[in-house]
Amino acid sequence: MSEPPRPTDSRPAKPPRPCPICRKMSLAPYHPFCSKRCADVDLSRWFAGVYAAPAAEQDDDETETPPRALDEGDR
Protein backbone atom coordinates (compact mmCIF):
# COMPACT_ATOMS: atom_id res chain seq x y z
CA MET A 1 0.00 0.00 0.00
CA SER A 2 1.19 3.50 -0.72
CA GLU A 3 0.63 6.58 1.39
CA PRO A 4 -1.80 9.27 0.19
CA PRO A 5 -0.09 12.33 -1.27
CA ARG A 6 0.74 15.01 1.26
CA PRO A 7 -0.23 18.60 0.62
CA THR A 8 2.73 20.67 -0.52
CA ASP A 9 1.57 23.69 1.47
CA SER A 10 1.69 23.05 5.21
CA ARG A 11 0.18 26.42 6.16
CA PRO A 12 -3.34 26.26 7.58
CA ALA A 13 -6.15 27.46 5.34
CA LYS A 14 -7.30 30.98 6.03
CA PRO A 15 -10.81 31.14 7.45
CA PRO A 16 -13.47 32.54 5.13
CA ARG A 17 -14.34 36.16 5.69
CA PRO A 18 -16.52 38.67 3.85
CA CYS A 19 -15.17 39.86 0.50
CA PRO A 20 -14.08 43.51 0.85
CA ILE A 21 -15.81 44.38 -2.45
CA CYS A 22 -19.22 42.64 -2.39
CA ARG A 23 -19.37 41.21 1.16
CA LYS A 24 -20.01 37.59 0.00
CA MET A 25 -17.90 34.96 1.77
CA SER A 26 -14.37 34.68 0.39
CA LEU A 27 -13.08 31.61 -1.42
CA ALA A 28 -9.61 30.11 -0.96
CA PRO A 29 -8.39 30.58 -4.58
CA TYR A 30 -9.19 34.31 -4.47
CA HIS A 31 -8.70 35.04 -0.76
CA PRO A 32 -9.59 37.58 0.58
CA PHE A 33 -12.02 38.01 -2.33
CA CYS A 34 -14.93 35.82 -3.39
CA SER A 35 -14.12 35.74 -7.10
CA LYS A 36 -11.68 36.84 -9.78
CA ARG A 37 -14.07 39.65 -10.66
CA CYS A 38 -13.87 41.17 -7.17
CA ALA A 39 -10.07 40.76 -7.15
CA ASP A 40 -9.92 42.59 -10.50
CA VAL A 41 -12.21 45.37 -9.22
CA ASP A 42 -9.87 45.87 -6.27
CA LEU A 43 -6.79 45.91 -8.52
CA SER A 44 -8.48 48.44 -10.79
CA ARG A 45 -9.15 50.68 -7.79
CA TRP A 46 -5.45 50.54 -6.84
CA PHE A 47 -4.42 51.46 -10.40
CA ALA A 48 -6.91 54.35 -10.47
CA GLY A 49 -5.53 55.77 -7.23
CA VAL A 50 -8.72 55.24 -5.24
CA TYR A 51 -6.64 53.66 -2.48
CA ALA A 52 -3.76 55.85 -1.41
CA ALA A 53 -1.64 56.04 1.69
CA PRO A 54 -1.72 59.52 3.19
CA ALA A 55 1.49 61.44 2.70
CA ALA A 56 3.10 63.03 5.72
CA GLU A 57 3.55 66.74 5.33
CA GLN A 58 7.08 68.00 5.76
CA ASP A 59 7.93 70.63 8.33
CA ASP A 60 9.59 73.81 7.09
CA ASP A 61 12.81 72.66 8.80
CA GLU A 62 12.91 69.51 6.66
CA THR A 63 12.63 71.41 3.37
CA GLU A 64 15.71 73.53 3.97
CA THR A 65 19.04 72.83 2.33
CA PRO A 66 20.57 69.60 3.62
CA PRO A 67 23.85 69.86 5.52
CA ARG A 68 26.92 69.80 3.29
CA ALA A 69 28.95 66.64 3.02
CA LEU A 70 32.44 66.48 4.46
CA ASP A 71 35.20 67.15 1.95
CA GLU A 72 38.56 65.45 2.06
CA GLY A 73 40.09 68.60 3.63
CA ASP A 74 37.48 68.80 6.44
CA ARG A 75 38.57 65.59 8.18
Whether 58 has a binding-site annotation, put simply, is: no
**pLDDT, position 54:** 82
Confidence of residue 12 (pLDDT cuts 50, 70, 90): low
pLDDT tens readout for residues 17-65: 999 999 999 999 999 999 999 999 999 999 999 988 888 877 666 556 6
**pLDDT, position 45:** 95
Whether 38 has a binding-site annotation, put simply, is: yes
Instruction: Tell me the average pLDDT across 62-69.
Output: 62
What pTM was estimated for this model as a whole? 0.54
Dihedrals φ, ψ of 13, to 5°? -65, 145
- All structural domains of the chain, each given as residue ranges with its CATH number in brackets, are 15-50 (3.30.50.10)
Whether 34 has a binding-site annotation, put simply, is: yes
**pLDDT, position 16:** 85
Alpha-carbon distance values, 39 to 27, 63, 68 (Å): 11, 40, 48
Whether 19 has a binding-site annotation, put simply, is: yes
